[in-house]
Each structure stands twice: as C-alpha cells, then as structure tokens.
Amino acid sequence: MKTLRTLLFPFAVLYGWVTGFRNYLYDKNILKSKAYNLPIICVGNLSVGGTGKSPMIEFLIETLQDDYKIAVLSRGYKRKTSGYLEVLPSHTAEETGDEPLQFKKKFPKVTVAVCADRRTGIEKLKQKAEVILLDDAFQHRKVTVDTNILLTPFHDLYINDYMLPTGNLREPRSGAERADIIVITKCPDKVPYSKLQEIEFKLPLQEHQKLYFSSIGYDGLIYGKTETLPLEYLTDKHFTLVTGIANPAPLVKFLKDKGCRFEHDSYADHHHFSAEEIEKLKEKELILTTEKDFMRLQHKLDKFALYYLPITTKIKNGQEAFLKETILQRVTARFKA
C-alpha cells in the first residue's frame, strides 16, 4: 500500500493544486461565501479519518447549551436518505447517519439536522437556533463561519501528512491558516510537556490562532438499551469488542489496561453491518461497542447484551476553562457586532 501511494504522488500534486486554487478563489472573494446573522462554529480537519470531531461537537454543546439555543448541522455521512432532515430520537442511523443520531439522543433539547447542502441546512435552522455548529465542514467554503476549529491527531499531525492519494490530506497544509483554534487531539494521558512544546514550535501558528491539546476520556459506566452498569462489570467477563471507527487502538489499550479480556471485531469507519455480520454477532454472549456503533447496532441487536462506552474530550494542561471562555467570548462578540 505504501508503495502504491508513493507511485500516486503526481496525482497528489495535481489534487493539491486543484484544492489550493479553489481556496485561493475563495480567499480573493472571486468565489463567494455566504454570511449569516448568527454565530456559526465549524469543527473539521484537513485529513480524512477520525480526528475526534464528535467529542468536540459534544464539548461545544455542553459549553454553550446553558446560554444559547444550539443546532448541529451534519451531512449525515452514509445515510440512506437525501435532502434536509431534522433528526428525531426515533430515527435510525440508516436514516440520519450514526453521529447525528448520537448527538440527538444525548442532547434531546438540541436541534440536530442533516443536509449535504450546508446553505440549505442553515436557512432551515436559523429560525430555530441562536448558534449553529457545523460538523465536518472545514472544506465547505460556501459558508462564512465565525469560528473555525481545526482538529489534528497527536500521532498523525497534518504537518507530517501529504495530499490524497499519497497521504490523507483533503487540502494543502496551508489550509490550516483559516483556523481560529487548533486542537491536537488524542494525546496520550502521560506525555511530557516538552513534547507538547515541540509540537507547538513545529506548527506554523498564525497570530490569530490559539492552540490546545486534548486527550480521550472514557466514561466510568457502560450503557445498554435499558440499563447502565459500572465499567468494572466487564473485568471478570469475556466479551467481544465491536468497533467501526477509524482508530480503535486507544479504546483497545484502555480496556486492556483495565484488565479486560475480550476479542476484537474491527470494521471500517461508519461500517454498515450486513445481515450475515449481524447473524454472527448474535452468536456473541456480550458485546461492547462505541457510542456511534451502538447507533447502528441497537435496532439490529435489540434483544442481545449490547453496551457502549462513551468518550469525551479532555483538554490538557488545565486549559479547559480557557477554551470554554474563548468559545463563549467569540459567540458573545458576534451578537454584539
């Protein structure tokens, strides 16, 4: 695979030129972005694959929901419906996508919608919300946003990556200059401060940008369809871990560090489970999965011992209060403008 990606380098150069030229047209206002009269916060990345967008969206909801009416707009990746759809708790992941359904079930008072056309989605939502969060929309230049939050994983920084198809970048590294806040996600729990400083020195930060570091936090409880149990319930059980996420390694390590014994069935990110795969899962006595995988499995394994372990974003170095204050200040300033 590495050799193939190297051979495809000329296509990466071409793709980088095309996406870079598109950004240039927007930067010079030749292609127009539409502005709206309410704060819009975008969470995204430069690369394909999991960077922790969903936990960051939930972090923003928790930061803002006590002061503002919040709406979340996603494209609804891999959903089987089309057009604009407001997500209801009764929907299935096939109808909405797994992550939007996760947001709605966790925050029922928040308006959640899916729409591939972000302008159409915003037009529908602006009458229902005071702040709109755009999920995975960093490359969606048709909309003017007030705050761009760029995520990049600790072990796969965008500065060390290359354009598709040689690497995983959707656009050139210079696109990071549009970010107002950059968050290095999925940092190890124990990482020397000198290593974080090294990363900060390597990043070509602009004067307007603020940098934060975050790690994954795991709940102390596992959640089923009808019951909640302490995580310790798993330590003397043999179970199957089922994941359909980009990088399950941190979760696997966390569970092993807890002394859990399990087999791991790993699938691609946002995997839609076939009927044959579901039948095989029904042979398992106990299944633990991720929260977004639970959204896809709960209706198919409704009578089986299926649980999920939620994750959260933990801002490192005592900077969580500062990040929350930064977000609140930017939203408040928008209303005063």
Q: Which residues contact 297 (CB under 8 A, 6 or more apart)?
A: 242, 273, 281, 287, 289, 306
Amino acid 10: pLDDT? 86
CB 199 within 8 A of CB 153: no
**Domains in the chain, CATH or no CATH each:** 2-68+130-217+315-336 (3.40.50), 220-309 (3.40.50)
Residues 139-174 pLDDT 10s? 999 999 999 999 999 999 999 999 999 999 999 999
Amino acid 238: pLDDT? 93
Name residues of the chain where pLDDT drops below 50.
none
Residues 275-317 pLDDT 10s? 999 999 999 999 999 999 999 999 999 778 999 999 999 999 9
Query: What's the token pair of residue 165?
Result: 């198809």
Amino acid 53: pLDDT? 95
Amino acid 206: pLDDT? 95
- Rounded to the nearest 5 degrees, what angle is found at the Cα of 250, between the Cα atoms of 318 and 162? 90
Nearest alpha-carbon partner for 211 in 334, 323, 328, 45: 323
Nearest alpha-carbon partner for 280 in 265, 269, 270: 265
Amino acid 50: pLDDT? 84
285/306 Cα distance (integer angstroms) = 9
301/241 Cα distance (integer angstroms) = 14
